[in-house]
Amino acid sequence: MGSSAIDDYLKAIFQIAGDNNRATTASLAEKLSVSPASVTGMLKKLSDVEPPWIEYQKHRGARLSPRGRARALEVIRHHRLIELFLHTVLGYRWDQVHAEAERLEHAISETFEDRIAEVLGDPEFDPHGHPIPRRDGTLPIRSDTSLLHMEPDTVAVVSRVSDQDSEMLQYLSSVGVKPGVRIHLVERGPFDGPLMLRVEKAAKVHAFGRRLAAAIRVRKLQGAGS
């Protein structure tokens, strides 16, 4: 097994399960686009090495060991620093950085990582608003909630957006949605209908379906109106 394959599994387990839960075979198969049988084989290997990367039980799924957690956060740190570097220094659009970072995250040295962090002033968040793990393995915390839970006629600030779908990111740019921007939920359609949103002080109201809204997290502000 190559080290970038190990990294991808550890990162996926951390992203699915966080610190306290287990990632199931099915959820990993879906996230990594591989068959459940190959996930099972890989999880066995990751738990059989010494020291183990993960703790694995057939019917309960996988949990990261301290070694696995440290490695997952290291790879996520690489990924998010690279995204921010590509975006702010090299001028990549925010919908282009994720695919590039997926390749480069496995390749950069610790020196290169340190240089990027230094040039960018030890940043805490990437271009999509995701926290960049610190060198010591802690994560900057910013409490936020899904846009789906916003109350009608309230204002919130976008804190992060999913980086998985570049077409979605292009759409969000075209309507001005990015971390730090204020949005006003004008109204919510009945029966799980669309969310009608105004971005900053723009006159136009955009209809966001549930899939789009689910990809966005916000910090609530007090008070209504725009």
Residues of this chain that bind Zn ion (CB under 5 A): 83, 98, 126, 128, 130, 163
Which is closer to Zn ion, CB of 74 or CB of 83?
83
Which is closer to Zn ion, CB of 52 or CB of 131?
131
Q: In the complex, what is the shortest distance from the CB of residue 153 to Zn ion, in angstroms, rounded to a whole number?
A: 31
* SS3 label, residue 218: strand
Q: In the complex, what is the shortest distance from the CB of residue 98 to Zn ion, in angstroms, rounded to a whole number?
A: 4
Residues 6+ positions from 209 with CB-CB distance below 8 Å: 194
Q: In the complex, what is the shortest distance from the CB of residue 141 to Zn ion, in angstroms, rounded to a whole number?
A: 17
Question: How many angstroms separate the CA atoms of 222 and 61, rounded?
Answer: 41
Q: In the complex, what is the shortest distance from the CB of residue 80 to Zn ion, in angstroms, rounded to a whole number?
A: 6
Which is closer to Zn ion, CB of 8 or CB of 163?
163
How far CA 223 is from CA of 154, 173, 220, in Å, comes to 6, 26, 9
Which is closer to Zn ion, CB of 69 or CB of 128?
128
Closest CA relative to residue 205, chosen from 180, 187, 182 = 187
Q: Where are the beta strands (DSSP E) in the chain?
A: 54-57, 61-64, 145-146, 154-161, 182-188, 195-199, 205-208, 216-220
Token duo for residue 126:
């990437």
Q: In the complex, what is the shortest distance from the CB of residue 210 to Zn ion, in angstroms, rounded to a whole number?
A: 22
CB 131 within 8 A of CB 142: yes
Q: In the complex, what is the shortest distance from the CB of residue 139 to Zn ion, in angstroms, rounded to a whole number?
A: 14
Which is closer to Zn ion, CB of 42 or CB of 84?
84
Q: DSSP characters for 161-208?
A: E--S-HHHHHHHHHTT--TT-EEEEEEE-TTT--EEEEETT-S-EEEE
Which is closer to Zn ion, CB of 146 or CB of 226?
146
Answer whether the bond into residue 51 is a cis peptide, omega within 30°.
yes
